[in-house]
Structure 1
Amino acid sequence: MADTADNGAAPQAPQIKMNVLAQFVRDMSFENILAQKGASGDVQPDVQVQVNLDAKKRSQENQYEVILKLKVDSKSKSDRAQLFLLELDYAGVFHIENVPEEQLHPFLLIECPRMLFPFVRRVVSDVTRDGGFPPLNLETIDFLALYRNELARRAAQSGGGEQTANA
C-alpha cells in the first residue's frame, strides 16, 4: 500500500528536464610567452586557475546560455617568469523545464557547468599540449562550493542584504 501512495504522489512533482542543445568555444586566447622569449630548458610551472560563470536567458522559451570562463596562468616557480596564459570562454545552450524559479539561478550556475566541464578540461589539455607544454589536466571543479563562496562574498559586500545576480 505504501508503494501505491508514493506512486500516486509522483505526478504532482514535475520531472526536471535538461538538454544540452549546443556547446562551443565562445572565445579563446593562448599566449606561449616562453616560446616568444626564446627560453628553453627544464622549467617547474606554477599554475593558477581562475573560474567565472555567467548565465543568461535566451529569447527562446526555456533556453539559457551558460558560459564557463577560465583563466589559466602559468609562471615559473623559480623566477615567477610567465610561461603561458590561456583564457577560455566555453558556452553551452541548455533547454531547461520544470525548475522552480527560486532554484533556477543555482541550477544554471552549478548543474549546467558540471555538464560542460569535461569538454572544457579536454580543450585546456589539447591547447596546452599543442602549445608545446605537457597537457594540463584540470582538477574537477566543485561548482556547488564555487556558488556558495560567491553568495558569501556578495553577502559580505552588501552587508548581509543578499541579492542574486541575474540568471
Structure 2
Amino acid sequence: MADEGDVLTDLNNQTNGNGADNRPTAGFITQYIKDLSVENPNSPSSFQWQDAPKIDLQFNIGANSVNEEVSEVELKINVTAICDAGQLYVIELVYAGLVGIRNLPEDQAHMFLFAEAPRILFPFARRVVSDATRDLGFQPLMIDPIDFNGLYLQRLQEKQQEDAAGAAAAGSAPGGNA
C-alpha cells in the first residue's frame, strides 16, 4: 500500500517487469520560510513622508542537495523602499521548499530545481512580502509575476555563449591548439 505522506509515491503501482519503480517523478515535500527580516528603520517619521517610494526588488534562486533524492530550493527576495527623505523599509526573505526528484535526467532535474520549483514557490513568497509591507504600515507590495522558465532559458543561453567565448579565447591563446 502506498504511504500517503510520501509525495514521491505514485498511486499507480505499475512497475517494470523486474519490479523496480524507475519512472521519473518530481514533487514538493514541504515549503517554509527559512529566513525573514523586516525593518522599518525610520518610523514613525517615515509615515509622514509624502513622496512616492522607489522600490528596489532583487531575487535569486539557489538549490542545495539534502540527499540523493531531495533538494532544498531557495527563493531569495530582497525589497528596499527608499524615498527622498530616507529609507522606508527593507524586507529580506528566503522562502524555501524541499523537492523530491527521482529518475529524472540531469538536465530536466536542473530545470525543475531552477525554473519550475521557484515558479511554484513564488505565489507563497509573494504573499509573505505583501503581508510584511502591510504589517509595516504601508500599502501591500504586490510583486508582478515572474517568468522563471523564461529567465532560466535566458540564463542557460548566456552560459552557453560564455562557454563558447571562453573556448574560443582558449583556442586563440598563445600556445593553445587551434
> Which TM bucket (shorter chain)?
0.7 to 0.9
Q: TM-score, normalised by structure 1?
A: 0.76
Report Cα offsets for 1:28-84 as digits up to 9, x if no partner: 111113316x2314331211211100012112x4111100001111111xx272211
Aligned to 1:70: 77
User: Which of 32, 41, 49 is the aligned partner of 2:40?
Assistant: 32
- Alpha-carbon distance, 1:160 to partner: 3.1
* TM-score between the two structures when normalised by the length of structure 2: 0.71
Instruction: Give the RMSD, CA atoms, in angstroms.
Output: 2.4
- Secondary structure (helix, strand or coil) at the match of 2:38 reads strand
Higher relative contact order (CA 8 A, sep 6+): 1
The residue number in structure 1 matching 2:123 is 118
Matched, 1:49 2:57: yes
Aligned length: 146
Instruction: State the SS of the aligned residue for 1:115.
Output: helix
Q: AA paired with 1:116?
A: L
The residue number in structure 2 matching 1:92 is 97
**Structure 2: 5+ residue stretches without partners:** 1-15, 17-21, 168-178
**Runs of 5+ in structure 1 lacking a partner?**
1-10, 163-167
Q: Percent identity of the aligned residues?
A: 40
Partner Cα separation in structure 2 for residue 103 and residue 46 of structure 1: 38
Q: Distance in 1 between matches of 2:111 and 2:85?
A: 37
Bigger Rg, which one: 2
Asked if 1:146 is matched to 2:151, the reply is yes
Give SS of 2:146's match: coil
